[in-house]
Every structure is written in structure tokens, then in C-alpha cells.
Structure 1
Amino acid sequence: MTEPAGKPGRAANIFDVARLAGVSHQTVSRVINEMPNVRPATRARVEQAIAQLHYSPSPAARALVTRRTRTIGLVTPGISDYGPTSIAMHFNFAARAARYSVESVSAPADDPKAIRKVVDALLRQRVDAIVFVVVDVSVLELVRSLDLRIPVVIAASTARRSPLIVSIDQYRGARAAVRHLAEIGHSRILHLAGPRTAPDATERVRGWRDELGAHRLEIVPPVFGDWSAASGYRLGGEIDVEPGSAVFVGNDQMSIGLLSALRERGLRVPDDVSVIGFDDVPEAGYLFPPLTTVRQDFATLGELIMQKVLIAVEESGVLTEDTPIPTHLVVRQSTRPLDD
């Protein structure tokens, strides 16, 4: 009796599957690529043969049929900050759930020329779409201006909305943080911001400023860090903070440095100074004191990015503008009412 898979030691091919299922190899191809006009009974027979032979179709062969590689290029900044890495992770989860593979490439966060080279390399690999995680305004402008033959989706925070852009609502998250501090009695609310060129930082500064204006509170010029705990520590030794003040910090990592600097200055948190961060990193609840912060929903962001990719790639649909994903204020022990 002849083995249906062919010679021993050889991986099964599409013709082996067709022979075992009693159909043409074109029918097997239609089943593999989920095309219509295949009777359910025939489809079931082909799928059974694929499982029996442990057949794995060649990505190159599938691309020839569908003109798609089911691969998405993901361009991320060459940094290890919590936000960008979380976006990339959850996008990968969403892509895998949709049976797409992701070709991830990192490039300097603030180098448009390097981004252009990365894009050219991904196009040569025939990716179906490119997703950009953008943390610098110069790169955001470049990506906005790209005219590619494939869909582009951008994860970035900006007041200039676009159907291509998916974001978390940094602006309203910042306003919620400042509102919390104002409602518990603080009238002097400082801001330790992220980099001047970071879209997230820009939106958080804008939210901080507008909420202070809504409460008619003094606006002290913000100081700018680089998202790191080290910069939070350095600036925490320099800012003009005094008992009764509050500090809205651009992210949780800088908050960690600030807490250390304030402790060295003899200022107690929250007895003397309230501190609130942004991101809700996994360590935030275990700091001393546990950090009040603004949580971002990176899982929903990753899913929304993938939804846009699917609409553009599989449905050839026109992308529509999305409302930024809401944030959530998490109140812990680093803030407290002034009259307590």
C-alpha cells in the first residue's frame, strides 16, 4: 500500500493533500486561502487531509494566490519605554489572533531618515500594511506624508486627528489627573513633563494647562525630562516644590525618581506633597507610597490598530476617524486631601 504523503522523510505538499482528499490542487489552494465557492463537504475533506498529512502551506505560495503575505510591518522606536513596548506587545497579540505575522523593526525614535530606510526594507518584503509606533513629532510628520502603495496605521498622540491615527486620550487623562489634585485641595500643581518633542508629552502638557485654567489656578512653567527615573530624580532636586504643593508627573518612571528626590529633600509624600503619575506600570502599586496614576488601555489600542489594518487590507475599506481610547484614574496613597 502506497503512503499518501509520498516518499518517507519528505514533507507533504499541496499535491499530496489533493490526492488524499480526491480533489484538484486548485481546490486545495482555495480552501487554504479561505476563498468562496468550495462546497462544505469538499472543504471538510481537504481540511481533514491537511491535518492528517501535517501539511503547512508555503507563505510564498499563498502570496502568489492571494497577492497578500499576511505579514504586517511594525516600526517601533528604538527605546524600551513602557508605553511603546506595551503597544507593540498588544498589537502582536491582536495580529496573531487574526492569523497575521508581524515583522518588527526598531529605528531611532527621532530619525526620519532611518525610518524611511526601514520602510523601504519592509516594502521589499511585500508586507500587507505598515504600523508605526511614533514618539517624536518629526517622525510623525514624516509618517503622515508617506505615500505608499499599502495601508499605513499610526499609533501616536496628537490633537491633529486623522483616520490613519489610533491613540489613547492623553489630553483627557492629564485633565483627570489635575482635576483630582484640584478637587482634593491643591492650588499649586506643578508639572514634570516628558520630552518636548514627544507627542504624548505635548498632549499631557496641554491637558494639564487647560485643567489648571478651568480651575483658575496658577500655571507654573513645566519642566521637561526624558521619561526616565533618572531625569525624575534630577528634576526632583531642582523644582520649586514646597509643602502643600502637588506634582503631576508625565509618566510613572519619572515619578519613581521624583519620589526618591523628594524623600532626600525631607518632603513626605503624601503628607507634604501629593504626586500623581501616568501609565500605571505594574510596579506602581508597590512603590512607597503606592502611586496614584493614570492607566492606559494598551490592550484595546492594540486591538483597534489591528481592526484598522484588517479593514484596509482584507475589506479594502475606507478608514474612519476614531475617538481616542479613554484612560482611567487609579487613586492610591501618593495623593491625599490637604485638610486630612
Structure 2
Amino acid sequence: MAQGTTGATTRSGKQRGTPVIKDVARLAGVSVPTVSRYLNGTARVSDDKRERIAQAIELLGYKPSFVARALANKVMDSVMMLTSLSGYWATTQVSGGVEHGARDKGFLYGVTSLDGVDADEVNNIVSRVLSANPAGVIVNESDEIAIQAMRQIPKDMPMVLIGGSRGDAPYQVIPSERAGGRQVTEHLLGLGHQSVVHVHRAEGPNNNTRTMGWRDAMAAAGIVATEAYQVGPDLNESVELGRRLAASDTITAIFAGNDETAISLIKGLHEGGRKVPEDISVAGYNDQIFAPLWEPALTSYSQNFVELGQEAFDMLYAQIEAKRAGDEMPTPECRVVEGRLVVRDSTAAPRAKA
């Protein structure tokens, strides 16, 4: 490719401030449709032409028009996520991971909340999302409404499900929820506690929940898993439960299904005259930023929700690329994003009885 001035010029020889696709084609010695195919990934372009086009783009400082590409593709360079529990910390972390992946590929990213949507409204919500012509859709499963929304996505639309039971969708990314719940419970039992009380919020309709992991560990230890309490998002409810549990002489360990519930329980236990971990060990889940700063520092299971979102976008992008190139779709798969137990000061061996 001939090297020279880096600015695009008009026929009159005047310098033009913003290069357009015709300038790239002229400098690279290819047609405008070839440049368009290179930018959109809609068909294969030879390695020689790809290199020349890439050099021309860099030399000119060309920035493709998002709208023009969308018109050429008949879909937007964008992805949408449908999710319930949109205000939850875990959901925002997952969303951030999807957004980072989308940004790296030059895609716009939007979130549509299903919070407060009833079954009759789901179809309208999904129709509005699809009317924006996204290149693909991610569904973050947390309840039956999200599952219903997923079922409305056309079969030819690239789609990835985050969460759910393994096999709920051809392309799926799931966190190690059940394995994590089991690991936390095993940690407490391994310290010498004879049983573990579980406190949790409502969980999604799937077989990969933290509560199931708690039951798995208890069953493996030969303990009947009967002491489970469901609480709502109002943390005062968990504080009150902590006060009630403090009155028990037999409880020595609690596994809370998330960190907010854990610290609320600790507050209630303290108000009930019990010390953590001297009297009762408490472990949380999610390992939020405040977990190591709490008093005592909170033992918690660290689940990489950002990676979960990034993996979901990568899986979606592979489908988008295959569809645009006319290739076969990637092999369906279910990826598991593993977490890890972080042991801190809130859990310890039970106090020896006098």
C-alpha cells in the first residue's frame, strides 16, 4: 500500500476532516462492499484484503458509523439483557461483565428489567426488546418470569441463558451456586459444628441453588437438614431472626445465603447477647466489598459474577459471528464459573462445653 498523506481528500483536492468508507476502499484498493463485509463480518474477506483494509483504517483514522453498519446488517451492533432482581448486587456485577465484553467488541449494551412484570406482560416486554433489532439476547434467570421471557426469544436469535438448571438452554453459563453452598457448609461442619442452620432468600426455580448445596453437605454428613429459614430483602427481618436464634442453646453455626443477611444476623445475635464466632459462627455468600471490613471479618464464598457476565457475552458473540458469516452455530455448551471460599474471622471451632 502506498504511503502518503493520512487525510482523506475530495475530488477537488481539498482536505476532508472525517474519512468515510469510500476513502478506506480507495486507499486499500478494494470495493466499498468489500470494506463493508470486513467491518460487519457478514462474509469472508481474503487475508490480503483484510490486511490492506486494516492498514487503510488505521492510516485514515476511520471510525465506522454504528447506524450505517446496523442498516447494512439489518440488526444493530448491540445486545440486550433481560433480567429480574435488577437492583441486586449480584445482578449489577453480572451486568458489568456483559458490558465490558460488549464494549471490547464495539457493541452497545442495554438492560431491560423484568421486576414487577406479570406473566401477561412478558410477551410485550420481549417484543419491545426484539423491535430494537439486537444482534443477540442474554437472559439472566432468577425467577419464572425470566424463564417465560427466554421462551419467547425466536430460535434463530443468538441467545445465552445465565443461571437456571443445567440444560435449560442450548447456550448457558451458570455460577457454582450449589457447589458453593456445599463448600461453605462443609467448612462449618469441618470446624466441628454438629449442625448448620441455613438462612436464605427466595431462590430461582432451578437445581443449582445454595440451599441445595447446604442440603447436600448435611446429607453427606448424616445430618437431617431441617433448620432453614427464608427471609426477605428487608434486612431488619434478618436482624430480628438473629435475636431469636440467639436464644437457642444448641445453635453454633449459621450459613447465610448472602453477605447482607449474614451481617444482619450478626447484629441480631449481638443484640441477643451472643458473640461471633465465640458463641456462634456465621458465614456469608458473595464476598462483597465490605466482607473483610466487617467486625468480625466475614467468612464468605466469593463468586465471580463479573466473569459470569463476560463468559455469557463471549458465548453470545460467537453465535453472532457465526450467524453473520453464514457458518454453523457453535456447539451448544454449559459453562460453569467457579468460585472460592474465603475464610475469615467470623467462623471458628465451637466453644468447648464446660
Q: Which residue of 1 aligns with 2:165?
A: 158
Q: Which residue of 2 aligns with 1:280?
A: 287
Q: Which residue of 2 aligns with 1:99?
A: 106
- 2 CA distance for matches of 1:26 and 1:283? 53
Q: Which residue of 1 aligns with 2:235?
A: 229
- SS of aligned partner of 2:226: coil
- 2 CA distance for matches of 1:169 and 1:220? 23
How far did 1:153 drift?
1.3
How far did 1:144 drift?
4.6
- 2 CA distance for matches of 1:198 and 1:322? 18
Q: Which residue of 2 aligns with 1:188?
A: 195
Is residue 85–residue 91 contact of structure 2 (8 Å, CA) maintained in 1?
A: no
Which amino acid is 2:338 matched to? Answer: P
- 2 CA distance for matches of 1:228 and 1:9? 60
Is residue 76–residue 88 contact of structure 1 (8 Å, CA) maintained in 2?
A: no
Which amino acid is 1:334 matched to? Answer: S
1:273-332 CA distance string (max 9 Å, x none): 000111011110110000111111223312321232123222241542325322211111
Give the 3 Å change call, closer, same or farther, for CA 113–158 of structure 1 in structure 2: same
- 2 CA distance for matches of 1:298 and 1:262? 30
**Bigger Cα displacement from structure 2, 292-301 vs 59-68:** 59-68
Give the 3 Å change call, closer, same or farther, for CA 174–110 of structure 1 in structure 2: farther
How far did 1:201 drift?
10
1:4 pairs with 2:14:
no
Give the 3 Å change call, closer, same or farther, for CA 319–241 of structure 1 in structure 2: farther
**Bigger Cα displacement from structure 2, 108-117 vs 161-170:** 108-117
Question: Does 1 or 2 have the higher relative contact order (CA < 8 Å, sep 6+)?
Answer: 2
- SS of aligned partner of 1:309: helix
TM-score between both structures, scaled by the size of structure 1: 0.86
Gaps of 5+ in 2: 323-327
2:343 pairs with one of 309, 331, 340: 331
**Bigger Cα displacement from structure 2, 233-242 vs 280-289:** 233-242
Give the 3 Å change call, closer, same or farther, for CA 267–155 of structure 1 in structure 2: same
- 1 CA distance for matches of 2:25 and 2:168? 50
- 2 CA distance for matches of 1:25 and 1:323? 39
TM-score between both structures, scaled by the size of structure 2: 0.83
1:216 pairs with 2:219:
no
**Bigger Cα displacement from structure 2, 242-251 vs 141-150:** 141-150
Q: Which residue of 1 aligns with 2:332?
A: 320
Taking only aligned residues, the RMSD between alpha carbons, in angstroms, comes to 2.9
Q: After TM superposition, list the pairs within 5 Å mapping 1:1-150 onto structure 2.
A: 4-6=8-10, 11-34=18-41, 35-38=43-46, 40=48, 42-77=49-84, 79-108=86-115, 111-136=118-143, 138-148=144-154, 149-150=156-157
How far did 1:128 drift?
1.3
Gaps of 5+ in 1: none
Is residue 95–residue 309 contact of structure 2 (8 Å, CA) maintained in 1?
A: yes
Which amino acid is 1:321 matched to? Answer: E
- 2 CA distance for matches of 1:104 and 1:155? 14
Identity of aligned residues (%): 27
**Bigger Cα displacement from structure 2, 298-307 vs 282-291:** 298-307
Give the 3 Å change call, closer, same or farther, for CA 199–9 of structure 1 in structure 2: farther
How far did 1:198 drift?
3.2
- SS of aligned partner of 1:322: strand
Which amino acid is 1:14 matched to? Answer: I
Which amino acid is 1:280 matched to? Answer: D
Is residue 201–residue 250 contact of structure 1 (8 Å, CA) maintained in 2?
A: no
Give the 3 Å change call, closer, same or farther, for CA 259–218 of structure 1 in structure 2: same
